[in-house]
Every structure is written in structure tokens, then in C-alpha cells.
């Protein structure tokens, strides 16, 4: 069924398809009886449940940040069987998306390229609206808020960046079940410089010093060199973050089967989907070795099946996330993958 619908959606620009999908989720968001019906059709095995960071996850299969940037479809997405959701990324200042077109498909690779750049209504607006319309615990699954740097804030002086992140953190911490600090999107100029050990220590140290009432995780890039990755992981351990989301999208175009002229015509942006999976697995494995057993690791990158999810868990992840796999796999993907994962035990 979804295969036919996807074929139709893929005939229109990816940005328009995303807007249509959001509209289609509106009844599921607003009507409890619709959500109950969908849950009955897409059951998640009880044995898939996971406990981590003091939170109960009905399934280890979550939705990655970037799909629901303003936390407007949380109840709908939870009803589809996701075990947790990451909304955002939100920034202290409301901002528009980067110029269109900014979202592209590579069907031959089951991949996406995006250069959206953190479009959102602003952290305070999103958090306030979420508290009034949904609220912590109402979705039935843990909900993380991802926070990032406002586009208008320069990297220097670093105090301005720290203040910008702190403003977002203060806005969302009372409504989030955990918070993800995004310093790794390739679509905000200069953002990835914050993964350098010195700047990361300043930023993350300030967030930890603020006193987090919820777990705090860092989202990292797959494009770090091994030395830079190790240095960043040491900072994560030193400042005592709760864990990592590994990984964000990649700037690499290696190993694609899509036509090279198509890839060149798309231009810049972060690549997600199966081509990212080998590197994401490497980063998860290295992070687990470096951080030890207590850190919570969320693996993300090209997960489409239970076997893919199992590979991330075997590499050291506690939880996993989908984004591109949801686009290509459809609304049944989270429960299907959860069932496949349980069957592999």
C-alpha cells in the first residue's frame, strides 16, 4: 500500500511531499480515537521495551530530529509506534529555512540530501506551545528536544554562542524528557567548529553547569577524523554528559550509486540514509569503547530493518533512530523494525 503512495509522493518535490505528509498526520494528532485505531493496527511488541536514563521506552526505535521541527505532530508520530521522538532542532531565535530547494531524494541509494538549516518558530514559542497542547508524558513515549545555534549568532566570541544555547536549553528543559545538543549539522555556517575540543568543552561545560533536570546528550558528525572524534569523546566524558546521538548527516558522497550528474546538480547539504550506515556504526563502536558502559548511545544512520538496528545495538548503541528509513519505509516502518528486532533476539 505505502509503496504505491510513495511512488505518487516521489513525483512531487520532496519539500512539498513533506508538507503533505504533515497535513495527513493532522487527524492523527488531533483525534484520540484515530490514534487508538492506528495503535491497534500497528502494535509494538511489549518485549521491545527498553529502560535508559531513568526513562521507559516502549521500543528502542525512535524518530530522529528534523522531521517534526516545531513539535506539532508528537502524538501522531507516537501513535505510529515510535518508541521515542526527537523534535527540533529549535534555536533561541525563530528562523526561516535556507533558500528552496533544500530537500532532495536519491532513490537509487534510498537516501536524502537536505540543507534546511534549522527552520523553526523559536525555542520559547515551541516549548510554550508544546506545554499547552501536549505536555510532558502525554505522548506516551519520551520526547527529546534538540537545540542548536541561531543562524545570526557568530562563532566569536564564544560567550555569545553559549548564551544562545543556554537560552534554548532554558526554554525546553522543563518540557523535554531529554535534551540533545546539536553541534553537527552541516547546514548552519560554522556550526561544526563547535565540535572542536576547546569550544565543545566551553559550551558543554556551561550547559552542564546550568544544572540539567533532564539527561543531556550531544549529537555528533560522522565526518570527524579519528583524532578529533577521540578528543570530543574525551570532552563528553570529562564534562559528564549523559551520552551521544551518533550520527548526524554527512558531507561525503562516497559510495553512491546515484548518477554523478544528479548528485552534482543537487550541490551542498547533508546526506542521510544507507550510505551513511557503515560510518555511523564505526562512530558508535568507537564511542562505546571510549565512553564505557554507562553512557547512553543513540545510533542513527541508514537504519531500515531489524537487522540494521541489531547491528547498531551490537556496536554499542542502546537506542536507534530513523529519519530517511521512515520516508522510504512509510508509517509502518517503526513497528515493523521493532518486530524484526525482537525476532532476532
Q: What is the C-alpha to C-alpha distance for residues 236 and 231, in angstroms, rounded to an integer?
A: 9
Q: Is it true that the peptide bond before 247 is cis, omega within 30 degrees of 0?
A: yes
- Active-site position among 168, 184, 185, 272: 185
Can you tell me whether residue 181 is helix, strand or coil? Answer: strand
Q: Are 344 and 20 in contact (CB under 8 A)?
A: no
Burial class for 260, CB neighbours closer than 10 Å (0-12, 13-18, 19+): exposed
Residue 173 to residues 82, 131, 246, 319, 328: CA-CA distances in angstroms?
A: 22, 11, 21, 21, 32
C-alpha cell read off for 139? 505522548
Residue 270 DSSP label: E
Q: Which helix (H) or strand (E) holds 187?
A: none
Task: Specify which residues 52 forms β-bridges with.
Answer: 55
Pairing between strand 143-147 and 84-90? Answer: parallel
SS (H, E, C) 96-129: CCCCCCCEEEEHHHCEEEECCCCCECCHHHHHHH
Interhelix angle 306-315/277-291, nearest 10 degrees? 30
Q: What is the C-alpha to C-alpha distance for residues 275 and 252, in angstroms, rounded to an integer?
A: 9
Q: Are 314 and 261 in contact (CB under 8 A)?
A: no
**Would residue 185 show up in a list of annotated catalytic residues for this protein?**
yes
Nearest C-alpha neighbor of 318 from the set 53, 134, 96: 53
Report the catalytic residues. Answer: 185
Amino acid at each position: 500500500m505505502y509503496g504505491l503512495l510513495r511512488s505518487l509522493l516521489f513525483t512531487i518535490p520532496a519539500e512539498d511531499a513533506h508538507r503533505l505528509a504533515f497535513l495527513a498526520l493532522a487527524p492523527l494528532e488531533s483525534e484520540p480515537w484515530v490514534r487508538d485505531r492506528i495503535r491497534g493496527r500497528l502494535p509494538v511488541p511489549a518485549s521491545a521495551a527498553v529502560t535508559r536514563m531513568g526513562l521507559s521506552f516502549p521500543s528502542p526505535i525512535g524518530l530522529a530530529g528534523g522531521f517534526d521541527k516545531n513539535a506539532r505532530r508528537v502524538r501522531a508520530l507516537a501513535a505510529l509506534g515510535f518508541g521515542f521522538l526527537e523534535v527540533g532542532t529549535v534555536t533561541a531565535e525563530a528562523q526561516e529555512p535556507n533558500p528552496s530547494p533544500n530537500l532532495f531524494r536519491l532513490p537509487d541509494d534510498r537516501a536524502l540530501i537536505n540543507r534546511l538549516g534549522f527552520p523553526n518558530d523559536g525555542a520559547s514559542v515551541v516549548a510554550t506551545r508544546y506545554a499547552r497542547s501536549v505536555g510532558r508524558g502525554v505522548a506516551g513515549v519520551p520526547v527529546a528536544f534538540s537545540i542548536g545555534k541561531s543562524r545570526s549568532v557568530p562563532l566569536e566570541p564564544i560567550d555569545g554562542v553559549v548564551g544562545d544555547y543556554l537560552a534554548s536549553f532554558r526554554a525546553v528543559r522543563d518540557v523535554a524528557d531529554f535534551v540533545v545538543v546539536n553541534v553537527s549539522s552541516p547546514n548552519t555556517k560554522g556550526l561544526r567548529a563547535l565540535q572542536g575540543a576547546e569550544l565543545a568543552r566551553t559550551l558543554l561545560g556551561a550547559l552542564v553547569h546550568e544544572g540539567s533536570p533532564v539527561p543531556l546528550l550531544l549529537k555528533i558528525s560522522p565526518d570527524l577524523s579519528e583524532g578529533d572524534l577521540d578528543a570530543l569523546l574525551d570532552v563528553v566524558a570529562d564534562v559528564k554528559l549523559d551520552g551521544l546521538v551518533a550520527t548526524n548527516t554527512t558531507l561525503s558522497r562516497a559510495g553512491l550509486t546515484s548518477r554523478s550528474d544528479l548528485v552534482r546538480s543537487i550541490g551542498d547539504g547533508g546526506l542521510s540514509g544507507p550510505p551513511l550506515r557503515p560510518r555511523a556504526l564505526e562512530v558508535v563502536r568507537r564511542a562505546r569503547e571510549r565512553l564505557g558502559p554507562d553512557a547512553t548511545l543513540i545510533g542513527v544512520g541508514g537504519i531500515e530493518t531489524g537487522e540494521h538496528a541489531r547491528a547498531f545495538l551490537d556496536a554499542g548503541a542502546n537506542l536507534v533512530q530513523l529519519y530517511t528509513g521512515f520516508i522510504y519505509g512509510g508509517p509502518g516502518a517503526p513497528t515493523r523494525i521493532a518486530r524484526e528486532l525482537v525476532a532476532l533476539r
